[in-house]
Structure 1
Amino acid sequence: MELHWEDIAGHEAQKMQLRTMLREHRLPHAVLLTGPDGVGKKKLGHVLAAALLCEAEDGPCGHCASCRAMASGTHPDYLEVLPERTGKSAAVIRIDAIRSMQVEASRYPVLSKQRVVLIDDADCMNEAAENSLLKTLEEPEGAVTFLLVTGARSSLLDTILSRCMPLSFGTVPEDAIVRALAQRGIAAEEAHELASLSDGSIGRAIALHEHEGLSRRDDALDFLAKLPQMDMTSVWKRSQEMGELDRETLSEWFLYLNMMLRDMLVLYEDGGSSLIYHKDVRARLLALLPSFPEPVIFSLLALVRETQHRLQSNVNLRLLMEGFHIRMRDVVQIRN
């Protein structure tokens, strides 16, 4: 896959800043790419890495030996560190992965004038890994640039943050998402629907298309509809079922639940609002409002966000889901 700046949807200011710094040789040895999931941070990191390794002055050119190696995924001077998951535990970047990277990064480059290391989901480093990386960022050996990608900047050590140039990314405009989906051969009508449900995330729009993510959206909506009458037998049954899902699937489900609760708050202000994410189920959301007063929705949102945060740790998923369902049920049924 070829890598070009033009392939990145949106983020024009960030692309311009990086290209200017590259031309003027002002890019620091460590850059932190931070922002919401699925907006193109890692993809831009790939393009930036290709530009740093490219033989041309204003790369990536797409034609030199370095660019061809990057496109084929075989560049000897490009290293990528990813979180690893054991069983159903949360994905973690451990110190062994950082130490292995440090050995490779300290070697003399083979094809380019330097090496580039991209650490994806850098917030997944455990404490030992972070401390080990910190030493390398303070005193890097040889010509190497570090690109850290994260959707949770606050989870990183302040000392690591202080040694990286931050580059923040916002959500991608709907029209840019539609164009990106169209380039993948997705029909215009579906592309517009996916973009409206993506919350500004190209990655989420693609996941919806490829993995039938709307089924999880619809399940979250059914859950809200049943919540006012849910008994404890249903709580235990649903908690067991959800506790058997993987963290990625649960995270997506909670994202949809969060978005629909947000839509309900918007509908309280304007029942015909076009600002909601899930326009296709507006009628169902409106029908739920009598059972969900605004204070209840705010309490539910707080529980959802707390659970989303806890999903990032190595908690027992069955117990987490039991506590979540019981507390959600109590908020709705006690306050009504």
Structure 2
Amino acid sequence: MTEYVSTTTGLFPLPDWAKDDLSDLKGHQKHDLISGDEGGEITAAYEEAREEVIDVQREAGLDRVVEGQLRWDDMLAHPLAVHDAVETHGIVRYYDNNNFYREPVVTDDLDFSGDVASELEATTELVDDDLQAVLPGPYSLAELATDEHYGDEVEFLGAVADFLAGELEAFPAHETLYLLEPSLVEDAPGDGLDERASEAIDRVANATDADVVVQPYWGALEEKVYAHLLDADIDAVGFDFVANQEDNLYNVQEYGATDDVSLGLVDGQSTLVEDADAVRDRVDWVTERVPVSEFETIYLTTNTETFYLPYAKYEEKLAVLADAAELAEVKAA
């Protein structure tokens, strides 16, 4: 029998009060932030905000709880932007939308940082055995960065994968890991590099005992990229069925899928709040059209990060995901 798991891709919007407070605090401590020292008041504000978003996930009834990645001002580039071997340069557009991040320029070896692990360690005080970790996938992180040290695209991708694997090995116990890989869609790797990207994902996935979900979004993977991704030692591939239904469905019908699957069925960018019954129906629409007789696990999630949303809308969408998964479980029973 299929298990239905409600979860998110992380990178939540800040609570409204935290957005205002942190804006003021960061304005007063600009020099400290440049040097990497956030200061006690900023740290305390993030800790309070983390507790709030975890409470929101609990109240919504999600099956997996994430830390929220509230400190990730540079979004998926964050793990490099805070690294000692990286210089942050000018503001760069984040894919094709109105969000921006500081360009991370790698100038030395990417050794261990521990930044994300420390966030998760703090989260374990609030979360039991349903913790979900979130990281950028190695291909997306490499594509968002500029290499001024390794000098070769393939070598740089491998270095980023090794860096993420090293960070992951320091994580506290977690049930699931989501690797977010929008660049596999937006900046698809060409011949040869598509296989290397799969190998890099495999390297990261093997650094954890948790279930690993690779979630591309903002469209569908090219056929060869998808086929190579299935070669990686991962538990689930994610699909953005909000941005592109037909091409994602074609990939599954043509090439098959992993035993588990992650369905991006709730729009992480739109303020329109979906109906839980409609989301459940979308699950049926997918499963009725794929050649897999039964997935072991179906993750129901947003198709993208939710930091685009007003905080109140983000809260509503979490409840929709939890309700849709519960409805799917009841129907399956």
Q: Normalized against structure 1, the TM-score is what? A: 0.28
Q: Which has the higher contact order (CA 8 A, sep 6+)?
A: 2
Structure richer in helix, relative to its length: 1
Normalising by structure 2, what TM-score?
A: 0.28
Higher strand share: 2
